[in-house]
Amino acid sequence: MKSRKLLMIPGPIEFESEVMQCMAVPTPSHVSPDFIDTFANSLKLMKEVWQCPSGQAFIVAGTGTLAMDMAAANLIESGDKALVISTGYFGLRFAEILKRYGAEVDILEAEVGDIVSLELIEQQLKSKSYKLLTFTHVDTSTAVLNDAKSIGALGKKYKVLTVLDGVCSVAGEEIRQEDWGLDVVLTASQKAVGVPPGLALLVASQNAMQAFGQRTSPVANYYGDWANWLPIMKAYENRQASYFGTPAVNLVIALEKSLQLIVKEGLDNRFDRHKRAGKAMRAAIKALGLELLSKNEQVSANTLSAPLYPSKMDTSSFLKDVNQEGVILAGGLLPKLKNNYFRIGHMGSVNKSDLLATVGAIESALKNNGYSHELGSGTVQILKHF
Ligand code: PMP
């Protein structure tokens, strides 16, 4: 179809047609037996995908920001100390959210395109006693990947609750929540989980649930209060009807389907496919003579890439030209640099033809805008690496 465009932004992404079909089924009652089974299965599948068998899963209508808000609202009491490790726009957002609930927040901010070193994080954890630490697995503004396993281990060593913003990583980048000792891993439906926007998803460890249970003040957020949602999640887990706020019924049906597809692919296969996609896209971008915002391979995300525009090119119509070629990409997000780079999402169902089409569209748009390169020099890297 001539009008069809390929959506290659870092969320929402291209969704599997089996998932989209779930959005079109007649909406059942949220307390019907079939839907109760769907909800229960989704909670169970989340723990499998998050690799957190003893965790508590939550599915709530909302977005990734609500998932962040819930983690902060339920784990922070006024005066608690929190450490934010920021690798971009979404790290700073977490700091703002934590402050709303009265946390005293320290921020360790990485240079653009880099991470904060583990040594620096450890030094900070040694110097002060924190209740909670947040970090962004993949910051969607910079395409920088944090070492979640090592930060989880530091959290355990210093007895700090660790909250991983996995909005741009869950079901794309490797995460083993329980083995890595991460207390909350949160995401939104529209990214690598592969479901249209509208669900806030998180899994909390037993440790996090205990910390919640030991609160002495009420949660200052009515909708997000785990005291309201926990009995609902427990009821669905036990295949019983319950109600606090109406679930996003069709989205939950779509979630069950997508999680089933993810488990069917196999988590290790899926992580590997994302690694190959990331590596191939970065190789293609570099072969075209463009640089990436992320500083080196080690700190580069596999779910998206953030190429810098060539310095002498007029960039004003670049994304429009890519769109004309049938591919939708995103602009920069960091306020100070947003006109200097663009972003390509490659997560979820992404396959070789998506990558080829995307790099082909980028090559054509570069050429249209007067940037000289050998046509095909980027696309060949996809063929070589994916
Ligand atoms: N964290 C990260 C890393 C994100 O990429 C996003 C969304 N781009 C969010 C949080 C916020 O999610 P939402 O837009 O669904 O509220």
- Give me the amino acid identity at 124: Q
> In terms of DSSP H, where are the helices of the chain?
17-23, 33-50, 64-75, 89-100, 118-127, 148-157, 206-213, 226-237, 249-265, 267-287, 318-324, 352-368, 379-385
CA dist 338 and 48 (Å) reads 37
- CA-based nearest residue to 148, from 176, 171, 172: 176
* Of 143-147, 276-280, 335-339, minimum mean pLDDT range: 335-339
Q: What is the pLDDT of residue 143?
A: 98
The three-state secondary structure class of 196 is coil
The residue contributing the CA closest to ligand 1 atom 13 is 64
Q: Report the DSSP beta bridge partners of residue 72.
A: none
**What is the CA(344)–ligand 1 centre distance, in A?**
15
**Mean pLDDT within 56-76:** 98
Pocket of ligand 1, beta carbon within 6 A:
11, 63-65, 90, 136, 139-140, 165, 167-168, 188
Distance 64 CA to ligand 1 centre (A): 5
Q: Tell me what pLDDT residue 364 has.
A: 97
Is residue 325 very low, low, confident or very high in pLDDT (cuts 50, 70, 90)? very high
- Candidates 13, 165, 167, 184: which one to mutate for ligand 1, based on the most atoms within 8 Å of Cβ? 167
Q: What percent of the chain has pLDDT over 70?
A: 99
* The pLDDT of residue 4: 84
d(C-alpha 384, C-alpha 333), whole Å? 30
Nearest CA to ligand 1 atom 8: 140
Q: Against a cut of 0.85, is the pTM above it?
A: yes
Q: How confident is the model at residue 343 (pLDDT cuts 50, 70, 90)?
A: very high
Q: Is the model's pLDDT at 1 over the cut of 80?
A: no
pLDDT tens-digit series, residues 173-200: 999 999 999 999 999 999 999 999 999 9
Q: pLDDT at residue 5 above 90?
A: yes
Question: Does the pLDDT of residue 312 top 90, yes or no?
Answer: no
How far is it, in rounded angstroms, from Cα 131 to Cα 67?
A: 19
CA of 65 to the centre of ligand 1 (A): 6
Say if residue 354's pLDDT is above 80.
yes
341 Rama sector, left if φ>0, alpha if ψ -120 to 50, beta otherwise: beta
- Tell me, what's the pLDDT at 3? 79
User: In the structure encoding, which two tokens stand for residue 36, read together?
Assistant: 């109760």
- Given ligand 1 and candidates 60, 84, 90, 191, which is best to mutate, with the most ligand atoms within 8 Å of its CB? 90
Q: Which of 4, 39, 16, 65 is nearest to 196 (CA)?
A: 16
Choosing from 89, 94, 141, 168 the residue with most ligand 1 atoms within 8 A of its CB, the one to mutate for a pocket test is: 168
Which ligand 1 atom is nearest residue 136's CA?
3
Statement: residue 2 has pLDDT above 70? no
pLDDT exceeds cutoff 90 at 73: yes
Q: Is the per-residue pLDDT at 250 higher than 90?
A: yes
- Residue bearing the CA closest to ligand 1, atom 4: 167
- pLDDT tens for 114-148 read 999 999 999 999 999 999 999 999 999 999 999 99
Q: What is the DSSP letter of 190?
A: T
Nearest to 309 by CA among 370, 268, 354, 239: 370
Structure confidence at residue 37 (pLDDT): 98
Instruction: Tell me the pairing of strands 199-204 and 184-188.
Output: antiparallel
Task: Inform me whether the pLDDT recorded for 252 exceeds 70.
Answer: yes
